[in-house]
């Protein structure tokens, strides 16, 4: 990714409904060039797009479970647990952060109770969240883009 790719991402973060023509005008490049870059970015980003699993009505409950594992069989069990959407090893060798999506609180409680048979855990229910794309942008806005936006 180069600075132009970051400029495109930054524009889309600020105004997600921006048309290809608007992006093209703001960056001073032809539409086909912008379209190619957006397509390459979309192909390169896993799960890119709107996030709605826990924001839509009746879509379930999201939670994170930090689990200190006593049993090494956890990873095998996770592959058979559809409610576990992500698993990250954090800190110490036997500590995992799991993202769980359940249909309701009772379903979440049952799932967490089953997973806690592998170790001690702490559960945090998600009450709101931002788009994953917004959270992945760590770089400062480019000087070139700031100057272009000021001119408009």
Encoding tokens for residue 126? 């998600």
pTM given for the model: 0.49
Question: Is CATH 1.10.10.10 the right assignment for the domain spanning 3-49?
Answer: yes
Q: CA of 23: how far to CAs of 6, 26, 32, 59, in Å?
A: 13, 5, 11, 33
Q: Which residue is it, tokens 């086909």? A: 32
Per-residue pLDDT at 143: 54
Q: CB of 152 within 8 A of CB of 14?
A: no
Q: Where are the domains of the chain?
A: 3-49, 61-125
Residue-wise pLDDT for 30-87, tens only, equals: 999 999 988 887 776 544 444 444 444 456 788 999 988 876 677 777 878 889 988 8
CATH class label, 61-125? alpha beta
61-125: same fold as 3-49?
no
Percent residues over pLDDT 70 in the chain: 72
Mean pLDDT of 92-106: 87
Which residue in this structure is represented by tokens 């480019």?
A: 142
């Amino acid at each position: 990714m180069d600075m132009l790719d970051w400029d495109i991402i930054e524009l889309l973060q600020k105004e997600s409904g921006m048309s290809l023509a608007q992006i093209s005008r703001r960056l001073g490049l032809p539409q086909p060039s912008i379209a190619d870059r957006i397509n390459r970015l979309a192909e390169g980003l896993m799960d890119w797009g709107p996030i709605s699993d826990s924001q839509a009505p009746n879509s379930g409950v999201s939670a994170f479970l930090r689990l200190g594992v006593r049993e090494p069989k956890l990873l095998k069990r996770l592959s058979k647990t559809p409610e576990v959407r992500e698993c990250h090893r954090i800190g110490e060798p036997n500590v995992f952060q799991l993202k769980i999506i359940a249909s309701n609180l009772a379903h979440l409680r049952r799932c967490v109770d089953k997973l806690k048979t592998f170790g001690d855990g702490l559960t945090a229910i998600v009450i709101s969240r931002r788009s994953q794309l917004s959270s992945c942008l760590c770089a400062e806005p480019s000087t070139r883009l700031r100057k272009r936006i000021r001119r408009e």
